[in-house]
Amino acid sequence: MLPRLGLVVLAAAAAAGENHALLIASSNGFQNYRHQADVGHAYQMLTLGGFKAENIVTFMYNDVANHKMNPVPGKLFNRAAKSLEEANDVYAEVKDHIDYQWTDLTGANILAALTGDAGAVNNTGNSTGRVLKSGAEDNVFVYFADHGGQGFVCTPDGGFACSAEIHAQDLLDAFKTMQKKKMYKTMVVYVEACYSGSMFKKILPKNMGIYAVTPTNSDIPSLASCCGEDAKIGDAKIYECLGDMWSTNWLQYDDTTDLTSVTLDTQYKVAKNLTTESPSQQFGDLSITSEDVNLFQGAGNTLSGKARKNNYTCAIPQSGLVRDMMLEHLRGLQMRAGSEEERSNYAAQVAAELQHRKEADALFAALQARLLPQGLAPALALEPKPVCWKAAHTAVKAHCGPYSEYSLKHSSVVAAACNLRDDAAAIEAVVKDVCANNH
């Protein structure tokens, strides 16, 4: 029998609970290198910082590290470096612990994993089917990196970029399910996506024990970092953006900081001050910001040796780069093509992308003319309408096709229409009519 002191210590440890995490890099394609590097870095930080691997559920499309375009095969980097020796490979720890990839990386599976619903997982052979198994005394950290629009974030669901969405209403419903099932004591949620503030602003209640952070508000895109000529490891040029600015700011801070004595509020302010091109936001239960970061993200101080001393800095990219990522990706491939046939092929893809943008601009201009009073910009100044948003965005997908990485910037049109009239059926009727006449 254990002595009384031993029983007390065990009881205290049980009461303290454990740390659990859900990490999601939902985009695909080599041009979206940064999202998978962000999440690979997060996994590395958690596990080297003391998280149990069995308490982390990871989603990653997993098509970048071994992509034919990757000049450093089998590795991912979230930050540029002067040499491979000084670089921090963020794929090494996560590569054998990716629970959902390829066709199993779906919005439905993300929500099932988040709510601990193993029976709802659709496993086509590319996942472990693992879900969060956290309890009432546990701390949960959720980190999502992908594209987003007004009131939703994207998932590929077997297609490309934004073939499907997780809407603000879906996420709120999932949080309510988790609360009902007593799946957490405290939960911290980071969402790295354009317009990500729209997922929580006046939507996430302050009394659910959930604290959410985003790199931007409802109206401004988030920004990538280490792009173009800066995206290199020694002499190896990756060309695609290596990370998202806000994400790399808090991840690099965690790498070199003792997180056992740093609060979430301190970390938030550091990352916010470094993220100069978009306004970082906080939502939900802000009392949680007084908690130490290690309760959700490990002990920190995870880098050592030359990787820790790597001081390579990247220029701040132009704010318009986010929406031009696909176009710049294709133009770069065209410029670097090794044969005339390849150049011609990429030139055709550039032309197709430009034509898509022209058609998307025309389509949403027509929607705006029908849905919004003349002269009214599609800004989200009114109260959020997450139920209507979901229905309206679903109507766009059904009648016009899914949002693309470019057309996401126009998602504010139907979101603003919901704010004005909150009549999803009427909005869908207009969307159906306009899309029928513009396709």
Q: How many CA atoms lie within 13 A of 299 on its CB side?
A: 9
Helix (H, G, I), strand (E, B) or coil at 393: helix
Note the pLDDT of residue 10: 30
Residues 2-20: tens digit of each pLDDT:
333 333 333 333 346 899 9
Note the pLDDT of residue 276: 87
Closest to 247 measured CA to CA, from 204, 294, 299, 297:
297
pLDDT, mean of each 10-residue run, the chain (439 residues): 36 64 94 95 96 97 95 95 93 97 95 98 95 98 95 87 90 98 98 96 96 94 87 91 94 94 97 92 98 96 79 64 65 74 80 89 94 71 84 95 91 91 93 86
Task: Give the strand pairing for 164-167 and 139-145.
Answer: unpaired
Closest to 196 measured CA to CA, from 24, 436, 14:
24
Note the pLDDT of residue 3: 39
Task: Give the strand pairing for 228-233 and 243-244.
Answer: unpaired
Spell out the domains of the chain, with CATH numbers in brackets. Answer: 15-309 (3.40.50.1460), 353-437 (1.10.132.130)
**Residue 78 CB burial class (10 angstroms; 0-12, 13-18, ≥19):** buried
Distance between CA atoms of 414 and 435, rounded to whole angstroms? 13
Note the pLDDT of residue 7: 34
Distance between CA atoms of 386 and 205, rounded to whole angstroms? 13
Active site residue 147: yes
Closest to 191 measured CA to CA, from 126, 250, 137:
250
Q: Which CA distances in Å does 122 have to 26, 103, 155, 399?
A: 16, 10, 15, 26
Note the pLDDT of residue 285: 98
DSSP string covering 168-214: HHHHHHHHHHHHHTT--SEEEEEEESTTGGGGTTTTS-TTSSEEEEE
Helix (H, G, I), strand (E, B) or coil at 224: strand
Residue of 147, 167, 399, 410 marked active site: 147
Mean residue pLDDT across the chain: 89
Helix (H, G, I), strand (E, B) or coil at 371: helix
Cβ atoms of 326 and 405 within 8 Å: the answer is: yes
Helix (H, G, I), strand (E, B) or coil at 51: coil
Distance between CA atoms of 437 and 439, rounded to whole angstroms? 6
**Residue 198 CB burial class (10 angstroms; 0-12, 13-18, ≥19):** buried
Distance between CA atoms of 92 and 108, rounded to whole angstroms? 28
Q: How many CA atoms lie within 13 A of 41 on its CB side?
A: 28
Greatest distance between any 2 Cα atoms in the chain: 79
